[in-house]
Structure 1
Amino acid sequence: MDHFSRSWTALLTAVADTRDEDFDQPSGCAGWLVRDLVCHLVIDAQDVLITLVTPAGTEPTADAATYWEVTGTPPTGDDPLDALIPRLAAAYGEPRLLKFHLDDVGSAAGRAARLADPAARVSTQDKVLTAGDYLSAYVIEWTLHHLDLIAHLPSAEEPPAETLAAARTLLEKIAGHPFPATFSDTDALLVGTGRRTPTDEETAGLGKLATRLPLFLG
């Protein structure tokens, strides 16, 4: 729960500190500008709010790791929601409007997360999880998107070290194998999710894990 709050607060702060002119810069999400990524975060925040008030009366069917659908195929942008995001982001016109909407909805999502009972069962995407597991799953979402946000903004603040470590741990659970100790948390996340191509030396260090990568989470 703490990692959710820290990673989300850090991401909201990073967006608020992003200069208006940088909203037209590319992000770390292929095909998306920074403004598109921020628009996606608005949708994510809405999803958190909706899920936390969607109780489930059955046993959990997933946890923080199995919540994610993993494929070896990168997104193509053909998904209707993915295709909608750039058009919706452009409709905001001014970056300040996007910032305002994310701060408004994002702050509400953060408050809802802090008030949630970790043991409560919630339902989303045909899965049942405890609220604690659901929020833990989102630590990797916030951390990866924080890295996406600052991918081409070298002066921007990086994600907190503790949430980078937590996101790496979750990615290792999803992969079913730890990354080599020679990988920093950031490198493990970027290489593991296909955001960066590993060097020949890194590929050799990954061993059998290299054949399972990259992991695209959806």
Structure 2
Amino acid sequence: MTLLHDVYAALSGTVQQLGDEEQWVVTGCTGWTVRDLVWHLHADAVRGLVAAHTPARRPADCDAVAYWRSWGSDPRADDRTRRLTRVEAGLHEFSVLRERYLEAAAAASRAVSALPDDEVVATQGHAIRAADLASTLAVEATLHHGDLVAHLEGSPAGPTASGLAEVRHVVEALLPAVLPGWSDERVALVGTGRAAPTPEEREALGDARLPVFS
């Protein structure tokens, strides 16, 4: 739960500093500008807030790693979501997008962090322990924090070290492979398709399929 608090606090600090002049800058998410990504981040914070108040009333059927296994398995649905995000983001002034994200992120962080680790909640068709829910939220926020600052000027602060370490844990578990000598940031970028592996990295990965999720 400390992980989620720290990751959300760092990302919110970066979003708080964004203004109209940055809203059209491209991000590390293909086809999305800063304003589109902020709206997507808002949606994921709302996911966490809703999950925190939705008891599953059944045993957990996935954990912090298994949650990602089916991600990206429906390219048409993913493409539709990307298009809808752009449309929805276009309905609001950037200041509104920013404030809605900051409000939802703060509420989600408080709500999820207040749950007992072993409480099972419902999210996106899954039943998942609260501690594992916190990991999924932290992993997505960490990756998108990197996406958000990828092309911004002024060297804004990137994702937290603890968030990148959690992404590494998930990526290596999904591969499955341990990648000694790789930085946490490199594991996150290559493992989620944000960077192509070098020939040496490809050799180290062996037959592993990439990305493990995007």
TM-score, normalization: structure 1? 0.90
Structure 2 match to 1:20: 20
User: 3-state DSSP class of the match of 1:159?
Assistant: coil
Identity of aligned residues (%): 37
**Within 5 Å, which residues of 2 pair with 1:90-101?**
90-93=90-93, 95-101=94-100
> Is residue 146 of structure 2 the alignment partner of residue 147 of structure 1?
yes
Q: Relative to structure 2, which stretch is displaced further, 130-139 or 74-83?
A: 74-83
What CA RMSD, in Å, does the superposition of the two structures yield over aligned residues? 2.0
> Which residue matches 2:202?
203
Unaligned runs of 5+ in 2: none
Change (3 A) 1:78 1:131: closer
Aligned residues: 213
Offset, 1:10: 0.9
- For residues 143 and 210 of structure 2, the distance between their equivalents in structure 1, rounded to whole angstroms, comes to 16
Per-residue deviation at 1:71?
5.7
- 5 Å matches for 1:162-181? 162-179=162-179, 181=180
Post-superposition CA distance 1:167-210 (Å, at most 9, x none): 2112211222222x22211111111111111222322233333x
| 1:108 paired residue number | 107
Q: Equivalent residue of 2:96, what SS?
A: helix
Amino acid at match of 1:214: P
1:157 and 2:154 aligned = no
Q: Residues 91-128 of structure 1: CA distance to partner in whole angstroms, max 9, x if unpaired?
A: 113x2221111111111111112211211111122211
Q: Distance in 1 between matches of 2:9 and 2:108?
A: 11
Compared with structure 1, are the counterparts of its residues 23 and 74 closer, same or farther at alpha carbon in structure 2 (3 Å cutoff)?
Answer: farther
Q: TM-score, normalised by structure 2?
A: 0.91
Kindly tell me: are residues 174 and 59 of structure 1, through their superposed partners in 2, closer, same or farther at Cα, counting changes over 3 Å? same
- Aligned to 1:35, the other structure's residue is in SS state helix
Distance 2:49 2:198 in 1: 40
Partner of 2:87: 87
SS in 2 for 1:128: strand
> Cα–Cα, structure 1 residues 76 and 188, in superposed 2: closer, same or farther, change >3 Å?
farther
Match among 208, 211, 214 for residue 214 of structure 1 = 211
**Pairing of 1:17-56 with structure 2 (within 5 A):** 17-56=17-56
What is the deviation of 1:70? 3.7
- Deviation string for 1:125-155 (max 9, x for gaps)? 2211111111112221111011110111251
> Superposed, which structure 2 residues align to 1:184-199 within 5 Å?
184-199=183-198
Specify the code of the residue in structure 2 equivalent to 1:162.
S
